[in-house]
Each structure stands twice: as C-alpha cells, then as structure tokens.
Structure 1
Amino acid sequence: MSEKVLHSVITENAGEETKKQFSYMEKAEGYVKDLEKELGRKPTACVVTFGCQMNARDSEKLIGILTKIGYEQTESEDADFVIYNTCTVRDNADQRVFGRLGYVSGIKKKKPWMKIALCGCMMQEQGAIEKIQKSYRHVDLIFGTHNIFKFAELICTMFESDRMIIDIWKDTDQIVEDLPIVRKYPFKSGINIMFGCNNFCTYCIVPYVRGRERSRNPKDIIREIEYLAADGVKEIMLLGQNVNSYGRGLPKEDKMSFAELLNEVCKVDGIERVRFMTSHPKDLSDDLIKVIAENEKVARHIHLPLQSGSDEILNKMNRRYTKESYLALVDKIKAQIPDVSLTTDIIVGFPGETDSDVDETIDVVRKAEFDNAFTFIYSKRTGTPAASMEQVPESVSKPNFDRLLKVVQETAKKRASRFTGQTHRVLVEEVNEQDPSLVTGRMSNNTLVHFPADKSLIGEFVDVKLDECHGFYYMGTMIK
C-alpha cells in the first residue's frame, strides 16, 4: 500500500504552537539518531489504532511525526516504540488495551530500550490512568485527546526521563493542525473540521473524553483541502463527532454552517468526491439536503444514526428527536436525493427497553429502508447516565436483537440490488484481497464493487457496469 508524508514542513500560515512543535521534532530527531547508532539499525515504531475515523486520522498524525523524526513504520508490536491510540466507547475496548499492554510487557523485558505510549479517548478517564499507574508500570508515556499535537514535545520528555510521563488535559479550546501526517492512501484522505460533542446522549462517553464542540476555521480547512488536491487526493471525508453542528463557536467574521462549508469544499479543483461523517438527525438542515442534491461531487451516502424507534427510549437516550420527525427527515432526504443510500446505527437493550419498543424500531427500519444498519446490543458504559439506569437482561435483549437484525438484513438486501445493470463511477482503492486478478473500488453510495482490472488503476475513477449483486457488494465490468 502506498504511503506518503504530508505537511512535513512548516507552512507560511503555521501558528506559534505548530512552529514550537517542529522545533521539538528537530530535537527528537537527535534522540532517535542516537538510538539508531546504539541499535545499529533504524528504530521501528508501531501505532495500533482502536475506534472511529477520527482516531484513525489522529494515528496518521502520530505516524507522520514518528516518520519525520526518523522512525521506520511497522505493523508489528515487536517494535522499538509502540503507541496504542485508544477508544473507550465500550468497556470491552478498555479490556482489549489492557490485554495488549500485558502482551508487550513480555517483549519489553527482552528489549529494555523499548518505549510504550498510550493516547486517545481511554486516557481521558481517571480510572484508566490509575489502573495503568498501578498495574502497568512498563508504560513510558500517556497523553489524551486534547494535546495530541504535543506528541513530539512529549517524545523529547520521554527520552529525557526514566519515569512514566502523564500529560492529560481535561479540556481545551486549542486546534493545532499543520503537523506532519502519513496518509494511508495517496488518493483519499480524512479532514478534521471540528472536535468534541455537545449532545450528551446518556449512553455515550464521547463528550466527556473529547470535550466540547470546537470548529476549525473554514479558511484553514479549505487551504488544507487545496494542498491535498495538489498532492493528488481525489476524495476527502470531512470528519467530526457531529458535522451538522459545524460552525458553532466560530468568530462572527468566519461564521459558516456545515452546508456552506460543504458547498465551498466542492469548489476545490481536483477534488472529485466529498464524504462526511457523522450526522446527528436533529441538526441535519434543509440547506444541507439542498447542497447534496445539487452537487454531484457529494457522495450519495448519508449515515444517520437512529439508535431507537421508540419515543420513550429516544427521550431516555437524550437524542432530541422523535420517531415521527426522524421518518419525516428520511422522506425529505429521499425525495430530494432519490439515489441516496442511508445507513444507520441502532442500539438494542437500552435500559428500560421493552419488546414493544423494539417493535417501534423495526417499524422504522421497514419504513426507512436503510441500505445498511450497524446494530449493537447495549453495553453499559461506566461514567454515563445510562449506566445507573435499570439494565435489560440479555435473555430479553438477545432475542430482540436477533429479530431486528433479520429485518435489517431483509430490507438491506432488497435495497442493495436496485443498481443491478446500471453503470456507476467507482474509485479504485486496492487489489482484491481474495483474487489478485480483480480490483476493489467504491461507489458514491459507499457500496463495494469488485471487477477485473490492472492495479495501475488504483486511485483512479472508472465507469463500471454492475453485473451481479452479492448482498453488500457487486461484481462488475469496467466500461472502457
């Protein structure tokens, strides 16, 4: 897979904090060179990512800085520097991290120069920090979600100290981008447009670990996208915990809604497709629907988390919409964007949920006809209001989950086949993992397509006739 470093030099628009971090990168590079002499080879670094697209984007920043200061990237945890970028949406995500820490402790005993770092959402929880301090003393560096831009500075501190370095910020109003990034793909990239969340859904830990909503300056976003386009990027994904609320908190002279930002992004030459993730139903505006409908560059895919179809459960979840208003929104979207694909998230077994509540959710699935739904059995998240509510036993939630899933699969299968025989533009992303004579690409609506073609087409848009539907993917033939 091709990889490239982006923003490896200071841009003319860089702020003081960015310049400061580049100076720390120079200093850190000296420490890495000393380690290289000691080892007789280039030191290796491994970043293990848990969680969402925003975590994946953060990991690209970590890898960018590590590459800049002289580490060689590897996917093996038998590296000289291992960084776990953690997620804490569910309790079992924490347990997976503790399991990895136990594994690398054995490696570090054989490699005393090895460094281990933890960052991300889990590190914003005091209980997690206390457990690491007590039971995982082999960890060298801990930092959170708000000060990831200080990574180079923290690496220097780590090299200069023989104690565990902990640097956690409770919150911040700072946004520092313009740092080195290694993109996973040379032809597509994520772009952070905002950080944090103000919604406080009762099952969700995100507002507590990612902080309040902070929007990036629109000029900075457009400038970064222009840079990416000049560097060969053709598809971008605008990222935020709730992109629909973009613009809140911006100064008056820079005020811009998400619909307005999306419209401006589509004007950037070289960018051929624009995606975004994630939308909260209560904030999806008529203006946004209009921008999507009128601009072919915007992907025909909207992820619109439902969570529940029961008004009572939605109220307990603090979702701030109703079954009726959600379905009205779906109807409005489909009326104005007929070729759109809608996907969603649904939780089964939320505290207090009954069989009849699940019936309401199933009713929404049938009426909305989602192209796909990511369904979960509720998992109690310590630190959230829902954790103290009366829990639903698995003997109730599991049968309800199974019957919901059956309906989801039925409606999704019906929706998936509707493009059979049509020709669609597909961005070729990689050689097919199962059959090297095929390549795999993605349609505007996010559906995968496998078809015979040469790997030289990776990163290009091509027209593909969709011959056969196989559930959630198509087999096709390229139109030359």
Structure 2
Amino acid sequence: MQTPFMNMTFCVRTFGCQMNKHDSERISGMLEGLGGLMVETVEEADILVYMTCCVREAADTRLYGQVASLKNVPLRDDSPLKKRIIAVGGCIGQRDGEELTKKLPHLDVVFGTHNLASLPRLLQGVIEEGGHQVEVLDASTSFPTELPTAREHSWAAWLPITIGCNNFCTYCIVPYVRGREKSRPIEDIVAEAERYVAAGVKEITLLGQNVNSYGRDLYGSPRFAQILDALDQTGIERLRFATSHPKDLSDEVIAKFGKLRSLMPALHLPAQSGSDAVLKAMNRRYTSAHYLQLIDKLRDACPDIALSTDIIVGFPGETEQDFEDTARLVDTVGYHQVFTFIYSKREGTPAAKMVDNTPHEVIQQRFDRLVDIVQKHAYEKNQLDLGRTVPVLVEGTSKRDNLLIAGKSPKNQTVHAPLPEGVSADALEGSIVNVKVDEAKTWYLSGTIVDNG
C-alpha cells in the first residue's frame, strides 16, 4: 500500500524515562509500518521526532537547543521534502502544546502523551498542507500498546501495565502530563508477554509510574503480585519492573523476590529524601522509618538483592538537618546505585510556589557530599561479587572497547568481559553467558566468560 511516508527516512530522539522509550518504539513501529525507513542520524532524516521529558529543567533546555540547531542542518540530497519535518511529542508536547510553535517557529508538529496514534495524520497534514499541526488531548482513549512497535533490541521488551499517576508528589509534573492512573487488564498483559516469549525475548521490564498500585482502578485493590506470578509462568527468563512507590510496596510483592524464578534480585525504590519533614512537604506519604522497614523486609526475602533509589537534594526548605537525615538513610541502606538530583522547579506543581532561600553553593556542597557516600557504597557492594560467576545478558560491546562484551547481571550491574577468540559480538548479543568476575569497580564488574556448562 502506497503511503506518504514510503521510503521517507525518520529518526526518533528520546529524553527521559522508560515509558518515553517505550512510546518511541511505538512511534518507530507506526512509521515503519507505513513505509518509513528508520535512520540513526539527524542528517539522514526527512522526519525528526523528539519524545520529550519535562521532569527537570535541563530537559527543556536540551530540547530547545537541539531544535534551534536544526536550522543549519541541510536535508539529504535525495529527500522528497523541501524542508525537514520536526515533531515534538511526550511530556513537553503535552504540557506546552501550541506554545511550542511560537517559541520554535520552525517546529512543524506537536502532539501529546495521550495521542501517539495521531502522529502519522499530523505529519501527513504538514506534507500536504504545510503550516503547524498541533493536537494535544486531555486523556487517553486507549493504551499505546495497541500500536505497532519497533523494539530497540529483539531480546528485551518494555511492557506497560499502567499509564498515568495518582500520587501528585508536590515536585512532580507527571500526573499533569500523563493523566490519572489507568491499568490494563491482566489478560492483556499476560498475552503480550506470551507473544514476547514466543518471539525469543529474554527480558521483560514492566512499566508504570507506580507499578505497585496496579489494578486498583480495575479491580478495587492492587493486584501487582498476581501480575508477577502470571508472568513468571510464561517462561520469560528475566523479569524486572519500574517504578515502585514505597507507600504501596506490599509484603506480598516483597515475598516474590524470594520465590519467583524469573524475578531478578534488583529493585529501584525511590526514597527522594530521608527527612520526614521533607517527605511530608513532598507528599510522599511514608516516613523514613517505614522506608527502612521495607528495606529490612526486602533483604529478609532476598538477602542478595541489589537496591537503587532516587534522591533529590535541595528541595525547598531543606535544612542542614534534613540533608543529614537523607545522608544517614543512604548510608544506612547502602545502595548499589543512587540517582542523585538537585531539585528543579517545575511550573504548575505545588513545590514551584514554595519559597527557598538556600544558596545554590550550599545545595551543591550537599550534593557533592552525598555523591561521595553513594560512590563508597556502590564500590563496596560490587566487591561482594568479586570471584563469583554471574550470568550476564549480553547487550553488545563496550562503548570504550569493541573487543569487550557489555551486559547486565541479574542485579542489573554492568559487566564487561573479553570476546572469546573467534566469536563475534553479534553472535553473543541477546544471549546469557557466565562471567567469572575478577575485577569489581564502582560502576561495573569485569571478568572472563566461562563454560556455560
């Protein structure tokens, strides 16, 4: 079937969370299904799509800078278009809508988080009519999983189980741009997972802004533990999930880490702060004591579990004592990995109205002190795997050395190992190999591939 996109090249650039990455795969799947050809670089692309994030100010700056710079990037010589079509979707598209075209006049298409399926029609409108095409809906009428997908890797898949968020943390813009929480029926999730397993997928990552509350809107109470049980039965080799809100992490879900064959011993559990006063101001609805109780339960269920978290430094009103409480929590837990952020004001959130007179240099000093604690524990945790043999899902080669494979351990650690003689990286990509760890650094392990038998 002839379409306006036949043999037209496109490139998708993605900022932000795993949900955005999944949405980008859906965009690629739609355009490929209509005859488009996916390319890697801006210079090759007739159509450039930005899937954006607006959680932090840096994402806005990055988008505006990249779109502005495209004025000087010429189209490929054999392009069927007179000018490159630039589209912006995701959270910034949802938040700003038509305002984007006023700030970036050479932007052609704006769409939101609720209408991915509209993109081909909007692009076609630009091709046939010119001008700006803007469509931003207030709510989703369907899940993006109903759209075709072009996965980045054949051996891994994102699987959304919910969209939207009901938590309204005071610093977070997500509920305003992703909408209220909406769960998929269990049978739809299991059917999609079974299709992935049949296609050779080794690892599935379940997605949701708060996977722990999955099913509350459909069934009256959360059923996330039931989802984990059902997917374990599909035969998937590795199962992960993100993101997990502490206030909804149940004992039933925690117990699965010690029971389910496929559930990997790794959990990202965002704390955001160790200060009860700050947690209350953030509307997180748990205390540091409750959070630490969850950590104890997780380690009772799975002693070798690798824990990671998010921490915000410099939330409005954070005192030195508040920061010390946070540093103490991070030191007490001893995470494998911590994603640390300096608070970024987001207009439209309650926290944006909070007054804070803490000098930036004080916040930066706190941030640097926290990073030192994080690195200390990350190094110590990786030392525990020194001398062990760990199964590694090979993702490709190291960015620094194409003679080294790079992959992930069950605990989500990056692992490097030399390619065996006579074996190509392509032959190993997507397979699980055993690596004997002989070096453990702060952010990665390295070793030697050993006989899988």
TM-score, reference length from structure 1: 0.88
Describe the shift of the 1:114–1:417 C-alpha distance in structure 2 as closer, same or farther (beyond 3 A): same
Q: Which amino acid aligns with 2:286?
A: Y
Q: Offset at 1:109?
A: 8.8
Corresponding residue SS for 2:192: helix
* Aligned twin of 1:38: none
Whether contact under 8 Å (1:358, 1:404) holds in the other structure is no
* Aligned twin of 2:93: 123
- After superposition, the C-alpha distances for 1:375-417 in whole angstroms (9 at most, x for unaligned) are 1111111111111111232122111111121112112211121
- After superposition, the C-alpha distances for 1:226-266 in whole angstroms (9 at most, x for unaligned) are 111111111110011111111121157xx761111011011
Give the distance between the partners of 1:100 and 1:471, measured in 2 at CA. 32
Give the distance between the partners of 2:83 and 2:229, measured in 1 at CA. 50
Alignment equivalent of 1:217, drawn from 171, 182, 185: 185
* Aligned twin of 2:152: 184
Whether contact under 8 Å (2:436, 2:450) holds in the other structure is yes
Whether contact under 8 Å (1:309, 1:357) holds in the other structure is yes
* Aligned twin of 1:263: 229
- After superposition, the C-alpha distances for 1:270-304 in whole angstroms (9 at most, x for unaligned) are x1000101100111110101112101310111001
- After superposition, the C-alpha distances for 1:450-469 in whole angstroms (9 at most, x for unaligned) are 11233212111122211110
* Aligned twin of 1:98: 64
Residue 244 of structure 2 is aligned to residue 274 of structure 1? no
Alignment equivalent of 2:376, drawn from 410, 414, 420: 410
* Aligned twin of 1:461: 432
Alignment equivalent of 2:354, drawn from 384, 389, 400: 389
* Aligned twin of 2:167: 199
Corresponding residue SS for 1:117: strand
Give the distance between the partners of 2:434 and 2:233, measured in 1 at CA. 23
* Aligned twin of 2:134: 166
Q: Which amino acid aligns with 1:447?
A: Q
Give the distance between the partners of 1:402 and 1:92, measured in 2 at CA. 19
Alignment equivalent of 1:75, drawn from 29, 40, 49: 40
Corresponding residue SS for 1:51: coil
Describe the shift of the 1:431–1:92 C-alpha distance in structure 2 as closer, same or farther (beyond 3 A): closer
* Aligned twin of 2:216: 248
- After superposition, the C-alpha distances for 1:352-384 in whole angstroms (9 at most, x for unaligned) are 001111110111112111111111111111111
Alignment equivalent of 2:5, drawn from 24, 32, 56: 32
Q: Offset at 1:476?
A: 1.2
Give the distance between the partners of 1:450 and 1:467, measured in 2 at CA. 10
TM-score, reference length from structure 2: 0.93
Describe the shift of the 1:114–1:208 C-alpha distance in structure 2 as closer, same or farther (beyond 3 A): same
- After superposition, the C-alpha distances for 1:310-350 in whole angstroms (9 at most, x for unaligned) are 00000000000001111111011111110100000001110
Describe the shift of the 1:341–1:451 C-alpha distance in structure 2 as closer, same or farther (beyond 3 A): same
* Aligned twin of 1:357: 322
Corresponding residue SS for 2:62: helix
Give the distance between the partners of 2:57 and 2:338, measured in 1 at CA. 22
| Count of residues in correspondence between the two structures | 440
Corresponding residue SS for 1:335: helix
Matches within 5 A, 1:4-19: none
Whether contact under 8 Å (2:213, 2:222) holds in the other structure is no
Describe the shift of the 1:245–1:173 C-alpha distance in structure 2 as closer, same or farther (beyond 3 A): farther
Cα RMSD (Å) of the superposition? 1.7
Whether contact under 8 Å (1:465, 1:478) holds in the other structure is yes
Whether contact under 8 Å (1:259, 1:291) holds in the other structure is yes
User: Which deviates the most, 175-184 or 345-354?
Assistant: 175-184
Q: Offset at 1:108?
A: 6.5
Alignment equivalent of 1:61, drawn from 9, 21, 26: 26
Whether contact under 8 Å (1:194, 1:246) holds in the other structure is yes
Q: Offset at 1:164?
A: 0.9
Residue 102 of structure 2 is aligned to residue 134 of structure 1? yes
Structure 1 regions of 5+ residues with no counterpart? Answer: 1-25, 34-41
Structure 2 regions of 5+ residues with no counterpart? Answer: none
Matches within 5 A, 1:225-374: 225-250=193-218, 257-269=223-235, 271-374=236-339
Q: Offset at 1:180?
A: 1.7
Q: Offset at 1:97?
A: 1.1
What is the identity percentage for the equivalent residue pairs of Structure 1 and Structure 2? 43
Q: Offset at 1:149?
A: 2.5
* Aligned twin of 2:399: 433
Give the distance between the partners of 1:109 and 1:188, measured in 2 at CA. 33
Q: Offset at 1:155?
A: 3.1
Whether contact under 8 Å (1:45, 1:73) holds in the other structure is yes
Describe the shift of the 1:367–1:261 C-alpha distance in structure 2 as closer, same or farther (beyond 3 A): same
Q: Which amino acid aligns with 1:117?
A: A
Whether contact under 8 Å (1:205, 1:383) holds in the other structure is yes
Corresponding residue SS for 1:97: helix
Q: Offset at 1:161?
A: 2.3
Whether contact under 8 Å (1:85, 1:120) holds in the other structure is yes
Give the distance between the partners of 2:50 and 2:198, measured in 1 at CA. 32
Q: Which amino acid aligns with 2:3?
A: G
Whether contact under 8 Å (1:51, 1:86) holds in the other structure is yes
Whether contact under 8 Å (2:170, 2:350) holds in the other structure is yes
Give the distance between the partners of 2:124 and 2:222, measured in 1 at CA. 38
* Aligned twin of 1:12: none
Runs of 4+ residues deviating >4 angstroms? 108-111
Residue 445 of structure 2 is aligned to residue 479 of structure 1? no
Q: Which amino acid aligns with 1:140?
A: D
Give the distance between the partners of 2:141 and 2:27, measured in 1 at CA. 21
Give the distance between the partners of 1:172 and 1:420, measured in 2 at CA. 48
